[in-house]
Amino acid sequence: MSLWDRVRDALDPDRALMLATDAVIQATATRYAVGADVEVWRPGRPLSLLLAGYVGTRNTGADVRVEEMIRQLRVVLGEDNVELNVLTNDLARSAGYFRRCRQTYMPPAFPKVLLEQCPRHHGVVACEGSMFKSKFSSALTTFMAGALGMANAEGKLSVGFGAEAGQMTPDLQRFVERSCRHSLVMCRNEPSRGVLERLGVRTTLGTDTAWTFEPAPAAAGEALLRAAGWDGETPVLAVCPINPFWWPVRPDLAKTAAYALAGEHADERYKAFYFHSWDADKQRALDTYLDGLAEAVNAFASERRCWVVLIGMETLDRRACDALAPRLSAPAGVIDSADASMYELVSALRRCRALVSSRYHAIVTSMPATVPSAGVTMDERIRNLMHDRGHEDLYLEVDDPALGERLLPILRRLWDDGDAVRAGIARALPRQLELMGQMGIDFMDEACRVYPDLPRPDLGPSPLAHLPSMGRELQQTLERYA
């Protein structure tokens, strides 16, 4: 390795963040070893859990996941036997969510908050779906793996809930291996289990937690669509675009300085000292992706009577919606998660005739209403979901050069063969609910392993008994296809 390479590695902000998080884990382990100011669970007390995820950015999928995790934890532990604290990036943006939970602000420089908060609780639950990946942000994985490592340092409950694992940098792999070797991670699929088990992390098979989410009543979704321009009668085609090409987000001190001094890199700035990856090649890739979506939607709208709405599942997606809208032949509505709650947004999704999405959770949260859906995916999440549904022909890749040409027949199928697509979706739901219920059982098994005297509600052996309450749409589907 050259001198420059060694200097670059030493100054790498992601690596520095891992080293800082390592340091607070070691400090916690030392404090625990000498018995200084240690919070210990005792029988008769509620189990206090810290939830660490990607909350407070108005990412609808991330917020829905945590909402359902909370409801499930209250079922499997018992309503009066648990106290929950959710770390959030923005208290204002998560206000009104996660009822009866405490919320604590987590700043971009998070190691200090982990040092303060983790030892105050009896365990940590990592919440984000993309839990162990460098695809979006190594810093996000460092945060969640660091929180799990803090719990491990004190011999407390340390669980990853409904996680995926994929490609990680070598430094991040080593960090996860060190921090999470005593954790239990419930994975959304077998490939993720393989990634983590090669690092010595214990796993079980699970699923996402958004399946049981109950949105606002249909009237709320319809009002949101009407406010965006819907006439209340024309069948709705929803499109959920993203910018798939500006990841990963990384801390960048040079860009931070340039932004502070001269306002440079403003379009790349995520927040604080974090910046998206961006260059001319990525801009061309984004243009090709948006042009492909527009080509298919325009051709389809010329054949079928429909009204198009662009839905930003995260506030970041507003840019993609605004860039796609002028490419469409007819005016489209735009709905943004910054202006609509997760309850309203999912209600609107479920009122649509069909959906094409690059957001995983737009598809997941529409499935309980069996909305015919297809994906244009940037990673394995939508790909895996479509295989689970038996719909291998209903997804494409974001970098497909023939995206517009290939998406048009998929849109026709969603519209014209919707009943068959709906049936395939409905048949897939019972399996996902069973897996989610099993996660509740596995979580309780792990909690009782760490705390043998923890009271366990008598819910019986059925995984479905370990689920939070379900809405009417989902119950009817389950009764029909279970």
Question: What pLDDT, on a 0 to 100 scale, did the predictor assign at position 341?
Answer: 96
Are 222 and 189 found together in one domain?
no
Structure confidence at residue 1 (pLDDT) = 46
263 beta partners: none
Identify the band that residue 8 occupies on the pLDDT scale cut at 50, 70 and 90.
very low
Report, as an integer, the average pLDDT of 443-469.
96
* pLDDT interval class at 4 (50, 70, 90): very low
Same domain, residue pair 269 and 403: yes
Q: What is the pTM of this model?
A: 0.93
| Residue of 291, 286, 379 lying closest to 278 (CA atoms) | 286
Residue type, position 121, single letter: H
Residue 175: closest CA among 121, 222, 236, 111: 111
Choosing from 416, 451, 473, the residue where a domain stops is 416
Who contacts 395 (Cβ-Cβ below 8 Å, separation ≥6)?
Answer: 374, 375, 376, 377, 382, 383, 386
pLDDT value at 2 more than 60 = no
Residue 65 has pLDDT above 70, yes or no: yes
Q: What is the pLDDT at residue 482?
A: 66
- Residues 393-411 pLDDT 10s: 999 999 999 999 999 999 9
- Contact between 236 and 343 (Cβ < 8 Å): no
pLDDT at 462: 96
pLDDT of residue 478: 81
338 and 299, same structural domain?
yes
Same domain, 181 and 285: no
Supply the pLDDT for residue 39. Answer: 85
Which run of H or of E encompasses 145? helix 138-153
Sequence-ordered list of residues with C-beta below 8 angstroms from that of 427, at least 6 positions apart, any chain:
390, 481
More confident residue, 480 or 409: 409
Asked whether 366 and 350 are in contact (CB, 8 A), the reply is yes
Q: What is the mean pLDDT of residues 468-474?
A: 90
Give domain status of residue 305, yes or no: yes
Q: What is the CATH number of the domain that holds 170?
A: 3.40.50
Q: Are 379 and 166 in contact (CB under 8 A)?
A: yes
Domain membership of residue 48 (yes or no) is yes
Task: Give dist(CA 437, CA 397) in Å, integer.
Answer: 31
Tell me the mean pLDDT in the region 345-352. Answer: 98
The Cα–Cα gap between 482 and 403 comes to 36
Does residue 469 lie within any of the structural domains? Answer: no
CATH number of the domain encompassing residue 320:
3.40.50.2000
Q: 191 with 229, same domain?
A: no
Q: In this structure, is residue 74 part of a structural domain? A: yes
Is residue 221 a contact partner of residue 344, using CB atoms and an 8 Å limit? Answer: yes
End residue of a domain, out of 382, 400, 416? 416
Q: Kindly state whether residues 199 and 297 are assigned to the same domain.
A: no
Which is higher by pLDDT, 478 or 330? 330
What mean pLDDT do residues 438-464 have? Answer: 97
Share of residues in the chain with pLDDT > 70 (%): 97
- Please indicate, yes or no, if residue 249 is contained in any of the structural domains: yes
User: Do the beta carbons of residue 403 and residue 289 sit within 8 Å?
Assistant: yes
Under a CB-based contact definition with an 8 Å cutoff, are residues 330 and 354 in contact?
A: no
Query: For residue 477, what pLDDT band results from cuts at 50, 70 and 90?
Result: confident
In the predicted model, is pLDDT for residue 7 greater than 50?
no
The residue among 38 and 109 whose pLDDT is bigger is 109
Query: Is there a single domain that holds both residue 362 and residue 231?
Result: yes
Q: Are residues 285 and 172 in the same domain?
A: no
pLDDT at 272 over 90: no
157 and 294 in a single domain? The answer is: no
pLDDT in tens, 11-63: 588 999 999 999 999 999 998 888 766 789 999 999 999 999 999 999 999 99
| pLDDT the model gives residue 467 | 97
Select the more confidently predicted residue: 101 or 38. 101
Whether 441 maps to a domain, the answer reads no
Residue 442 lies in a domain: no
- Residue 333: strand pairing partners: 309
Mean pLDDT for the stretch of residues 142-159: 97
Residue 183's pLDDT is: 98
Q: Are residues 318 and 405 in the same domain?
A: yes
* pLDDT for 302 beyond 90: yes
CB 378 within 8 A of CB 241: no
Residue 317 lies in a domain: yes
Residue with tokens 């379900």: 470
* pLDDT at residue 159 greater than cutoff 50: yes
| Same structural domain, 315 and 258 | yes
Q: Tokens 């991040």 belong to which residue?
A: 172
The pLDDT of residue 350 = 97
pLDDT for 3 equals: 37
Per-residue pLDDT at 288 exceeds 80: yes
Residue 257 is part of which domain span?
Answer: 218-416
Q: Find, among 168, 164, 134, the residue nearest to 277 by Cα.
A: 134
User: Mean pLDDT across the stretch 341-353?
Assistant: 98
Reported as a single tens digit per residue, the pLDDT across 372-389 is: 999 999 988 999 999 999
How many whole angstroms separate alpha carbon 239 and alpha carbon 225?
13
The backbone torsions φ and ψ at residue 108, rounded to the nearest 5 degrees and listed phi first, read: -55, -35
> How big is the CA angle at 178 (ends 163 and 37), to the nearest 5 degrees?
95
* Structural domains counted in the chain: 2
Answer for the pair 155, 129: CB distance below 8 angstroms, yes or no.
Answer: no
Residues 172 and 199 grouped into a single domain: yes
Mean pLDDT of the chain: 94
pLDDT tens digit string along 229-246?
Answer: 999 999 999 999 999 999
Among residues 177, 206, 235, the one where a domain terminates is: 206
- Decide: 273 and 37 in contact? Cβ < 8 Å: no
Which of 211-225, 256-270, 351-365 is least confident?
A: 256-270
